Amino acid sequence: MTLFDLSGKTALITGSSGGLGFAMARGLAQAGAQVILHGRNQDKLHEAHLALSGEGFNVLKISFDITDEAAIEKALGNLKEDGVYVDILVNNAGMQLRKPLVELTRNEWDTVINTNLSSAFLLGRNVARQMIARGQGGKVINIGSLMSSVARPTVGAYTAAKGGVRLLTQSMAAEWAEHGIQSNAIGPGYMITEMTQPLVDDPDFNGWITGRTPSRRWGTPEDLVGTVVYLASPASNYVNGQIIYVDGGMLAVL
């Protein structure tokens, strides 16, 4: 067993037709895993699938609503019928909504919480049921945020959800570790993605990030690859309930 070798493993990465999810899927494929790309936009999903299979990687693709319990049940059931089991689950899909709390509607709040937190519970629960039944262990990796620990104005619902992701991860560890399942989280810092582009394009915000981050730069999706491969591999078999911040040192300094 080599510490970072994922051959023979299958990884499902939600929200992986672009951005952080695609970069992590590619990294897991490079480490030997069969990857299952996931997305709602069929064209983007098809492009991502073409890109990775074009590089010779073993790639499947799947599309379902991560907030829909029945859709999740059906999707995992279809995979099982095809003899595909998820050994590594990366709960990455999410959304942002920037609005002061006093202006936020109940519906907006629920949408952000369902997409960023409840989805990790629903998929994590269903995949863990399969992992426990198979008795071969597994890996659950939840994508948190700096907002799993700190807040900033206008992203209250997102922050509440990402805070929940951190303690959901610890709860998963508390209950699933004895079944050989390691549950951990990654807290990406400010990465240049579609979600943060409006912030990158804002000279004040952009300047604040590069000044406030010890690495003096925004992160890139590729900056997450090493950490996700580590948390997906035997190298982290005694690591459980942790969150690893990949943020250029932002949270470590005042």
Cite the active site residues: 158
Q: Where are the alpha helices (DSSP H) in 11-105?
A: 19-30, 42-54, 69-81
Q: Pick one of 40, 74, 134, 152: the residue that binds ligand GCO (CB under 6 A).
A: 152
User: Per rule CB under 6 A, is residue 96 in the interface with ligand GCO?
Assistant: yes
Site for ligand GCO in 10-39 (CB under 6 A): none
Task: Find the binder of ligand GCO among 11, 36, 147, 192 (CB under 6 A).
Answer: 147
From 188, 221, 241, 248, residue interacting with ligand GCO (rule: CB under 6 A) = 188
Smallest gap from Cβ 199 to ligand GCO, in A, equals 6
Phi, psi of 36 (to 5 degrees): -110, 110
**Neighbour order of strands in the sheet with 34-38:** 59-62, 34-38, 10-13, 88-91, 138-143, 181-188, 243-246
Contacts of 109 (CB under 8 A, 6+ apart): 157
Applying CB under 6 A, does 156 fall inside the site for ligand GCO? no
Report how far residue 32's alpha carbon sits from residue 26's, in angstroms, rounded to the nearest whole number.
10
135, 8, 50, 145 alpha-carbon torsion, rounded to 10°: 60
Please report the beta strands in the chain, taking only residues with DSSP state E, as ranges in sequence order.
10-13, 34-38, 59-62, 88-91, 138-143, 181-188, 243-246
Cβ proximity to ligand GCO, 85 vs 190, nearer residue? 190
Assess 196 for contact with ligand GCO (CB under 6 A).
Answer: yes
Q: Which is nearer to ligand GCO, 147 or 172 (CB)?
A: 147
Query: Which class for 42: exposed (0-12), middle (13-18), buried (19 or more C-beta within 10 A)?
Result: exposed
- Residue 227, SS3 per DSSP: helix
- 195 near ligand GCO, judged by CB under 6 A: yes
Is residue 92 at the binding interface for ligand GCO, with CB under 6 A as the rule?
A: no
* 218 binds ligand GCO per the rule CB under 6 A: no
163 binds ligand GCO (CB under 6 A): no
246 belongs to the binding site for ligand GCO (CB under 6 A): no
Nearest approach in angstroms of CB 38 to ligand GCO is 19
Instruction: Tell me the number of residues near ligand GCO by CB under 6 A.
Output: 13
Q: Any idea what DSSP says for residue 117?
A: I
Instruction: Please tell me whether residue 155 binds ligand GCO under the rule CB under 6 A.
Output: yes
Q: Which of 145, 183, 227, 233 binds ligand GCO (CB under 6 A)?
A: 145
* List of residues 6+ apart from 7 with CB closer than 8 A: 32, 33
| d(C-alpha 160, C-alpha 107), whole Å | 15
CB of 196 to ligand GCO, least distance (A): 5
Return the residue nearest ligand GCO (CB atom). Answer: 145
Q: Which is nearer to ligand GCO, 124 or 188 (CB)?
A: 188
189 binds ligand GCO (CB under 6 A): yes
**H or E element that contains 170:** helix 156-176
Report the interface residues with ligand GCO, using CB under 6 A: 96, 98, 145-147, 152, 155, 158, 188-190, 195-196
